[in-house]
Structure 1
Amino acid sequence: MARKLLRRFIPSAHAIKSNPALHFLGDLLHDPNLFHLNRHSVSVAFFVGIFVAFIPLPGQMAMAALLALLFHCNLPISVALVWISNPLTMPALFFATYQLGRWLLGLPPVSVSLELSWHWLMHEFNLIWRPLLVGSLLSGFVFGVLGYVVMQLFWRWTVVRSWHLRKQRRASQRSRND
């Protein structure tokens, strides 16, 4: 059941392997574990994707892909989940992780003006990077574990439900035949 649901939303292994932009990866994409849709592969992919979504660095999709290669989990799911932090959610997400990190480290609030410039990056970012990183790593880990557990439970629930429905169908067929 969960496998059928996920199969509708993710690209096929053939579509990913035949993408010319990914030919530089060579044989790395031929690992069948990267495209399996089983409880372990999908749950680990949820952890990887959600964890990386909370990391405040550019190249999150590449990081998720590398971690999927390292942990042999579902590549498309781990890369897709990185989009939890998108341009609409990123300001609120990283502000919340900064506040968490600031609270954990016991730092006072810092007033910084946000502008995308080299000067800001070299001077102002130095004031917020530690609490932002601590809050982001902790939030990514907690929500990644939560995603892993929820996916494990969801997968188990769909399997048990499928068994139960199959058992009911068989019982009703037997009662009609008798």
Structure 2
Amino acid sequence: MPRRFLQRYMPKPDTLRRQRSLRFIAPLIADPGLWLLTRRSVANAFSVGLFCAMLPIPFQMVVAALGARFSRCNLALSVGLVWITNPLTMPVIFYFNYRIGTFLLEAPVREAPSRISTRWIAEQMHDIMPPLMLGSLISAVLLAIVANIVIRLIWRWHVSHHWKRRRLKRRQRRARIESEFDD
């Protein structure tokens, strides 16, 4: 994984510490271990962030920050990845999770009315929540595991590819120097 690419888009801890609205979490932000970009910290941050993104709970970013603190992974990545479930993607993702839950529980799928209202959701919540929670938990665990493995493999491939390029450049440089001495 290109460390420089990730560092370019990550916020700086000092900038965040100076913001008044974030002073209450200054001890969390001050921990330098939560800002490292290593294969392990990035892969675990993807796992934590995507796991929290799939859960239909409020304050997903807070849960992701606590998960990052607990698992000692990159804080900014884990909190930022929660935004995969934003107001545009949330209905699609949670409906998919609901369908997974109804399949696993062998429950009937509730058909939505032509106009969805908060009243209809409140009335159906008792029937909707068990499949939604189960489907969300299953997809969160699977997505976290797959993301962790994929990020570690991509990181490993990137490092290996970089080392091969360096080795090739070294050989070319050595061959050029040897050809100059032979002339």
Within 5 Å, give how 1:83-122 maps onto structure 2: 83-113=83-113, 114-117=116-119, 120-121=121-122
What's the RMSD between the two structures over aligned residues? 1.5
Counterparts of 1:157 and 1:57, CA distance in 2:
35
Question: Residue type matched to 2:35 in 1?
Answer: F
Structure 1 unmatched ranges of 5 or more: none
Within 5 A, what are the aligned runs for 1:9-158?
9-113=9-113, 114-117=116-119, 120-121=121-122, 123-158=123-158
Q: Deviations over 1:76-106 (max 9, x none)?
A: 1001111111111111111110010011011
Q: Which moved more, 1:56-65 or 1:74-83?
A: 56-65
The amino acid across from 2:84 in the alignment is: I
Conserved 8 A contact 2:17-2:26: no
Instruction: Give TM-score, length-normalised by structure 1.
Output: 0.93
Which digits, 9 at most, give the CA deviation of each residue in 1:106-143, with x for residues without a partner? 111223543235x743x321110000000001001101
Larger radius of gyration: 2
Distance in 1, matches of 2:36 and 2:19, equals: 19
- Once residues 63 and 153 of structure 1 are traced to their aligned partners in structure 2, the CA distance between those partners, rounded to angstroms, is 26
Q: 4+ residue runs of structure 1 moved beyond 3 angstroms? A: 111-114
User: What is the percent sequence identity of the aligned residues?
Assistant: 39
Query: 1:149, CA displacement in angstroms?
Result: 0.7
Contact 2:45–2:75 under 8 Å retained in 1: yes
**8 Å CA contact retained: 1:35, 1:76:** yes
Aligned length: 176
- Measure how far apart 1:161 and its partner are: 0.8
